[in-house]
Structure 1
Amino acid sequence: MKRIFLSLLAVGALSLTSCKQNAAEEVDTKKAETAAVQDSKEQKFPEMQFDESMHDFGTINEGDIVEHVFTFTNTGEAPLVITNAKGSCGCTVPTYPRNEQIMPGDKGEMTVKFNSNGKPNQQMKSIRITANTEKGTETLRIKAFVNPKNPKAGSPVK
């Protein structure tokens, strides 16, 4: 009786082990098929390649409004669409091609205006661009040294 019970137990254990192997092989096969489908549908993205990502206006006077045109090329494999561009403060205003697709290999421009009124001394501002690139955001920077309008109180006037 013990032999029959042990034999049945051994047969049952072997059958469960073989089922686990078959299930594991089936799951691995499904994973491989899913990965192959995803690879075949690999998404292509545009890329923004700027001629320069930082511009220095040098020394300007407080109250001056200066602007610079940043030029970029879509070096990716899909049309580029800029959905937003925003300066780090209200004194920095970007203008960009809205509702336009920039095709691979084509160039585009973004104009950035900086109003130095009320911004004396060294200034560093950034422009955050939201687009359909793989990263999703790009950053430009501008800087300037702004000579103050009025000399500081208590300093001698010449």
Structure 2
Amino acid sequence: MKMIKISMLALTLGLMSFSAIEPVKAIVSKVAIAASSIVWKSESIDVGQIPQNTPKPIVFEFKNTGKKAVIITNVQGSCGCTATDYTKTPIAPGKSGTVTTTYNAAYPGGFTKTVSVTTNAETTVKVLTIKGTVVAATGVKS
């Protein structure tokens, strides 16, 4: 009987240790999110209607709110229809930078495209979104 009580006590303590692990992970995750040093003005931009065959530049702005310079290491559009450019120099604390994507509005209809941004300030890739509708060109002017 004494052996059963000891086994039950060990099992109970073991289960209690698992329940303590999850809140620690949640706290660490919240601290990591709060520590991000890049604040984007907008992570998704709706450009509305744009005319067919007219490339549309879209500028995403961000501010470095951290204590170290931010360097953009890679910017990649989700398809060949989005050309990208970005601030190439280190962005000092308190300063701002940009990521520009130019959408090639070749085909009429709605679109949603993404741009993935990698920096030295965040461990995960930031995904920015552009969307809108390409309106078909009408008639030929004489």
Structure label with greater radius of gyration = 1
The TM-score with structure 1 as length reference comes to 0.60
Partner of 2:114: 126
The TM-score with structure 2 as length reference comes to 0.66
2:101 matches 1:112: yes
Superposed displacement of residue 140, structure 1 = 1.0
Q: Sequence identity, in percent?
A: 33
Amino acid at match of 1:95: D
Match of 1:65 among 55, 58, 69: 55
Distance 1:139 1:76 in 2: 20
Contact 1:46–1:132 (Cα < 8 Å) also in 2? no
Q: How many residues align?
A: 105
Partner of 1:38: none
Matching of residues 47-126 of structure 1 within 5 Å: 47-98=37-88, 100-117=89-106, 119-126=107-114
Secondary structure at the counterpart of residue 93 of structure 2: coil
**Which aligned segments of 4 or more residues in structure 1 are displaced greater than 4 angstroms?**
none
Distance 2:133 2:122 in 1: 34
Match of 1:138 among 113, 126, 131: 126
Distance 1:46 1:144 in 2: 29
Partner of 1:30: none
Structure 1, gaps ≥5 residues long: 1-44, 151-158
Structure 2, gaps ≥5 residues long: 1-34
Distance 1:132 1:46, change over 3 A: farther
Contact 1:66–1:115 (Cα < 8 Å) also in 2? yes
Distance 1:56 1:109 in 2: 17
Secondary structure at the counterpart of residue 76 of structure 2: strand
